[in-house]
Amino acid sequence: MPRLSTVAFVALPLLVLSLAYFAQSYASPLGPAPHLGSGLGLSIAFSSLVNYAQAAMQAPFGAPQEALLGTQHPKEQVDNEDSEVTINEPRPRFTRRIVAVGDIHGDLINAGRVLQMAGVVDEDGNWSGSVDVFVQTGDIIDRGDDTVELFEWMEELREQAHGMGGVMVSLLGNHEWMNAIGDWRYVYPSEIETFGSISARQKAVTTGWLGNIWASNYTTAARLPLHNLLGPPNTDYPPAEGSVYARANAGPLSHAAFSFVHGGLAPMYPNLQPFPSAINNISSSLLHKLRSRSPQPPPHPPHAYPGLPAGTTREEARLYGGDGPLWYRGWADEDESKICARVDQVLQKTGTRRMVMGHTPNLQNIVARCGGKVLIIDTGISHAYGGALSALSIEYTLEPVKGGGWKEQEVVKALYAEQEDELLVTATRELGEGDLW
Ligand SMILES: *[C@@H]1O[C@H](CO)[C@@H](O)[C@H](O)[C@H]1NC(C)=O
Ligand SMILES: *[C@@H]1O[C@H](CO)[C@@H](O)[C@H](O)[C@H]1NC(C)=O
Ligand SMILES: *[C@@H]1O[C@H](CO)[C@@H](O)[C@H](O)[C@H]1NC(C)=O
C-alpha cells in the first residue's frame, strides 16, 4: 500500500480545512461565502475540489456539483460481487453505461423495442435505471406518424431519468431543423392529423410545445465525458478558464469522452472549439430566429421553400450547410484511406476519443470505421426503412490496480433486437500512479 502514506499526508490537513469550511458554512446563512478573506477562500476552494474528486470517483451523475455544494451522497451503484468492499475502498471502481440510438423517424413501436432491448426502459416503457446515460442523435420526426407520442415520451423519460440519477442527452437532427424552417417535404399527411391541422402543427413545431422542447432540452452537438471527473455532459473542451474540470481535462483522463452530432463533425468545419458550446450557441441563436418569425412562412410544399430567416449570420447558415454538423456525411461516405488520416485532428480539437453520429443509414448494422473512432449508428430503425433495430452500448470502467495506478477500459458494442450483438471496440489503458485530476 504505497499510497497510504500519501493519503494520510494529504488527508489530515484537508480534514482540518474541511472542518474550517463547515464551521464557516454554519456561521453564514448564505453558505460558503464570497466574503471570506483570500487565504481561507483558497483553502476552501481546495477542499471543495477534493470533495469533488472523491464524490466523482464514487457516484454517478450530479456528484461533482453536489460535492461543491457540500452534500455528498456516495451512491451504491457498483455492480460486481465485491461491491461491499469497493464502496469503502478509498479508490473505488467507477463504471458508466451509455446507450445511444440513432434516427427513429416517427416509429414509436420500433423505438420502444430498441430502448427496451438496450435496457434503457422496462417493459412498460419507463426509465429502467440500468443505464446511466441515454443519447438520441436526432431525427425523431418525419417519415412516420408518431411524432407527438415520441417527443412526449422522451420528456417523460427525461424526468424519470433525472429522478433516478440518470441523464438523457437529446440532439436535433436535420429533420427537426427542417420542420423548424418550414420544410415539410418528409411530413406524412396522416402525421399532420395527429397535431389536429396544418396550422396547429406549424405552431407546435415553431413557437408551440415542440419548439419549446427543442429550444430548452435539445442541442445540436454533445460532448459526453466518460468519467465524472471530466464534468457533466456538455462540459466544454478546452475547458473554460477557471473551470473546476480544467485540471482533469488536462490530465491522464483528458479526451476520455465521446462526441455526438446528427450528421458529422467535418475536419474543415470552423466552429469545433470550444466543443460543444461553439456549435450549440450558434444553434440556439438560429433556432431563436426561426421561432421568432412572424408570421411563420407557410410550409413547403405546396408553398415555396422558406429558407433561413432574414438576419441569419454566415455562421448560422454554415451550421445548417452541407459540411455542418447536421448534414455532413463525409465520415460515412468517403474512403477510410481518406478519412482516417483526418479523424485524430477532430478528436484532438473536441476533447474526445470517438465520435458518434446518425443520419447516414446502413440498414444491416452499426458501422465502426477507423478502428472505432468513427461510429455511425443510423440503421434505419423506422419501418419507413425496415432496417436493423439497433443501439450502441458504451461501457466505461476505471478501476484501481493493486499497488497503485488505474486500469481504464472502454467496451463499445452494437446491440440488436433481431441479430447477434457485435463487439466493436475493446480499448484498455494503464494510467500509472499519477493523480487523475
Ligand atoms: C410507467 O409508465 C406508465 C405509463 O407511462 C405510468 O403511468 C407509470 O406511472 C410509470 N411507472 C413508474 C414507476 O414510473
Ligand atoms: C425540459 O426538461 C425538463 C426536465 O425534465 C422539464 O422540466 C421541462 O419541462 C422540459 N422543457 C419543456 C419545454 O418541456
Ligand atoms: C455560449 O453562450 C454562453 C451563454 O450565453 C456564453 O457564456 C459562452 O461564452 C458562449 N460560448 C461560446 C463559445 O460562444
Q: Output 79 or 348, whichever has higher pLDDT.
A: 348
100 CA distance to ligand 2 centroid (A)? Answer: 20
188 CA distance to ligand 3 centroid (A)? Answer: 37
> pLDDT over 70 for what percent of the chain?
79
- Residue in 404, 412, 364, 401 with CA at minimum distance from that of residue 385: 364
Helix (H) / strand (E) element for 260: namely strand 257-261
152 CA distance to ligand 2 centroid (A)? Answer: 10
Express each pLDDT in 391-414 by its tens digit: 999 999 999 998 889 999 999 999
Q: Is the pLDDT of residue 30 over 50?
A: no
pLDDT for 91 equals 79
Could you tell me which CATH class the domain 97-431 is placed in?
A: alpha beta
Express each pLDDT in 174-191 by its tens digit: 999 999 999 999 999 999
Name the closest-CA residue to atom 12, ligand 2. 213
At 270, the pLDDT band (50, 70, 90 cuts) reads: very high
- Residue in 230, 219, 228 with CA at minimum distance from that of residue 137: 219
At 145, the pLDDT band (50, 70, 90 cuts) reads: very high
Give residue 58's Cα distance to chain centre: 20
The number of the ligand 2 atom at minimal distance from the alpha carbon of 158 is: 5
Beta-bridged to residue 32, according to DSSP, are: none
Q: pTM here?
A: 0.84
How far, in Å, CA of 191 to CA of 6, rounded? 63
Annotate 35-79 with DSSP letters as a single string: TS-HHHHHHHHHHHHHHHHHHHHH-STTHHHHHHHT---------
Smallest-distance ligand from the CA of 221: 3
Name the closest-CA residue to atom 4, ligand 3. 281
Q: Output 77 or 290, whichever has higher pLDDT.
A: 290
Express each pLDDT in 350-370 by its tens digit: 999 999 999 999 999 999 999
283 CB near ligand 3 (under 6 Å)? no
pLDDT for 92 equals 86
Query: What's the whole-number mean pLDDT along residues 375-388?
Result: 98
Top mean pLDDT of 41-50, 244-253, 385-394 is at 385-394
174 CA distance to ligand 2 centroid (A)? Answer: 22
Residues with CB under 6 A from ligand 1: 124, 126, 160
Pocket test for ligand 1, best of 120, 122, 124, 154 (most atoms within 8 A of CB): 124
Based on its alpha-carbon atoms, the radius of gyration of the chain, rounded to whole angstroms, reads 23
Residues with CB under 6 A from ligand 2: 155, 158-159, 162, 212-213, 216-217
Smallest-distance ligand from the CA of 216: 2
160 CA distance to ligand 1 centroid (A)? Answer: 9
Express each pLDDT in 60-70 by its tens digit: 554 444 333 32
164 CB near ligand 3 (under 6 Å)? no
Express each pLDDT in 36-51 by its tens digit: 223 333 344 455 555 6
Top mean pLDDT of 50-54, 168-172, 248-252, 399-403 is at 168-172
